[in-house]
Amino acid sequence: MRPFIVAGNWKMNKTLEEGLTLVREVLARFERTPPNTTVVFAVPCPLLQAISEVLRERQGFYLAAQNCHHEEQGAYTGEVSAAMLVSVGAQYVILGHSERRQYFRETHEQLARKVTVALRHNLTPIFCCGEPLAVRERNHHLPYVARQLRASLFHLSETDLRRVVIAYEPVWAIGTGKTASSAQAQEMHAAIRQLVAKRYSSETAQAIPILYGGSCNAQNASQLFQQPDVDGGLIGGASLRADEFSAIICAARST
Ligand code: PGA
């Protein structure tokens, strides 16, 4: 059975005190996570260590960074390496978020290297893919996402690919309040699984978790999560409030 994953992507929000309060409020609502459900907090780098301490010994709750550099170390002022993230307690790292691709010009090649370096350090990449609105309107969304996966994930061995989480996030749905319909999400998730089956094997395609992201909230989560190929969500805005994020975690239970 694939794990169900609810990951909160805080982006560039929350100071240390605000972040600690939010995590403590979410943890207070759960003795443990719902069965087979993993909860991930993807927090800004300066908050990682302190939040890691709060999450310690809380089964089912994990910590993620939102990016890492593709080199091991060196003269890259302002950047953060995979080894550094591990050293402060991160277990996951979001890679290839559309905001990184768009505002920081991250390329397919850089992302392929980031995925490799993350896995080398035993970080689980949450690899984001998804098409902009113009591509969806031309009905080219399936080949567009296929290209993102081929260019940045399909260099991995089958064993390594099984250590990756994929997040499908249509760019037009991120932060816009416009969620993909359950049918649109399911179509893409099934297509991604088919691509993985073709490149690797159907066992690996069945094993890999595929999350949906883009204006997912407490109202629409359970409908999205009921789709057979949707294995959870990558939640932006709705992860910034304890009540809303907790409701989304509970929506995982019904699947
Ligand atoms: P959103 O962001 O839920 O605010 O649309 C999702 C994301 O960017 O991961």
The answer to whether 219 and 182 are in contact (CB under 8 A) is no
Second-level CATH architecture of 4-253: Alpha-Beta Barrel (3.20)
Angle, vertex CA 177, rays to CA 172 and CA 183, nearest 5:
65
With the most atoms of ligand 1 within 8 angstroms of its CB, the residue from 5, 6, 235, 245 to mutate is 235
Long-range CB pairs of 76-85 (<8 Å, 24+ gap) are: 80/45, 81/117, 82/117, 82/118, 82/120, 82/121, 82/123, 83/121, 85/45, 85/48, 85/121, 85/123
The answer to whether 43 and 51 are in contact (CB under 8 A) is yes
Clarify whether 189 is annotated catalytic. no
Q: Is 139 left (phi over 0), alpha (psi -120 to 50) or beta?
A: left
- CA 154–ligand 1 middle distance (angstroms): 25
Q: Which residues contact 229 (CB under 8 A, 6 or more apart)?
A: 186, 189, 190, 192, 193, 210
What integer pLDDT is reported at residue 253 of this predicted model?
56
Widest CA span in the chain: 48
What integer pLDDT is reported at residue 83 of this predicted model?
98
Shortest-distance Cα residue to atom 3 of ligand 1: 236
What integer pLDDT is reported at residue 254 of this predicted model?
52
Q: Name every protein residue with a CB atom under 6 angstroms from any ligand 1 atom.
A: 9, 169, 174-175, 213-216, 234-238
Residue with tokens 């094993």: 207
With the most atoms of ligand 1 within 8 angstroms of its CB, the residue from 234, 241, 245, 248 to mutate is 234
What integer pLDDT is reported at residue 195 of this predicted model?
98
Q: Which atom of ligand 1 is nearest to the CA of 99?
A: 8
Shortest-distance Cα residue to atom 6 of ligand 1: 236
What integer pLDDT is reported at residue 186 of this predicted model?
97
One digit per residue, the tens of pLDDT, for the chain of length 255 reads 899 999 999 999 999 999 999 999 999 999 889 999 999 999 999 999 999 999 998 999 999 999 999 999 999 999 999 999 999 999 999 999 999 999 999 999 999 999 999 999 999 999 999 999 999 999 999 999 999 999 999 999 999 999 999 999 999 999 898 889 999 999 999 999 999 999 999 999 999 999 999 999 999 999 999 999 999 999 999 999 999 999 999 998 555
Q: Which atom of ligand 1 is nearest to the CA of 128?
A: 9
Query: CA 108, CA 13: separation in Å to the nearest integer?
Result: 26
With the most atoms of ligand 1 within 8 angstroms of its CB, the residue from 215, 217, 219, 241 to mutate is 215
- CA 98–ligand 1 middle distance (angstroms): 10
Residues β-bridged to residue 39:
6, 61
At residue 78, what are phi and psi to the nearest 5 degrees? 90, -5
